[in-house]
Amino acid sequence: MSKEAQLEAILYLAGDEGITEDQLSQLLDIPALQLHEIIKKTKDKLEDDHDCGLSILRVNDVIKLVTKNSCSDIVGRYFQKDLNKNLSQSALEVLSIVAYRQPITRIEIDDIRGVNSAGAIQTLIWRGLVEISGKKEVAGHPNLYVTTEYFLQYFGYQSLDDLPLIESFSDSVIDSQQVELFNNSDDI
């Protein structure tokens, strides 16, 4: 069996969590350079096959087998959720705060926004965009919130370093593409 076939099998079994390059290298018993070549070859093969609905995605150092964007309609119908298609303004605000200030507590988010953010945080957790990542070592030990790998995947980032710089936003003008990107949450 080829290393490409073994890679596909491992990625399939790893599911939504994916698998790190180090783990893949060990499982396939190949050096990192050869692994990168196999990943690229397999990704190119999947992308070029218009009768295949799968692709390979890298998020940080995690490799995942995912569905192609062209399959989003059918996948969306499979996962139809009983929720609003767009994120609310408060959820978008909270998501932005978490993305740029993580790890952060709910109280810290509330202080920035000036209102209670508990409902928006729960919505973001339910949609898989934010998760709890431990407790802050202060009185009460509040939860610390961070964005998920799905957040990166959904918005097309490979790492948090790809987020737009805050300095590039003006106080009164927000890039309409950014607003559309956040509001276009039909796939969530």
Domain boundary assignment for the chain: 3-77, 89-183
What percent of the chain lies above the pLDDT cut of 90?
54
Cβ–Cβ under 8 Å, residues 63 and 11: yes
Query: Hey, which CATH number is domain 3-77, 1.10.645.10, 1.10.10.10, 2.30.31.20, 3.40.640.10?
Result: 1.10.10.10
The number of helices, as runs of H, and strands, as runs of E, in the chain is: 9, 5
Which amino acid would we find at residue 109?
I
pLDDT at residue number 82: 41
Report which listed range, 8-17, 26-35, 69-78, 169-178, is most confident: 26-35
Q: Kindly state the tokens that stand for 67.
A: 């569905």
What class has domain 89-183?
mainly alpha
pLDDT at residue number 147: 96
Distances (CA, A) of 151 to 9, 20, 48, 131: 25, 18, 26, 10
Distance CA 17, CA 14 (A): 6
Distance CA 180, CA 187 (A): 13
Look at residue 135 and tell me whether its pLDDT is greater than 80.
yes
89-183 and 3-77 share a CATH fold: yes
- Pseudo-torsion of CA 60, 148, 100, 154, nearest 10°? 80
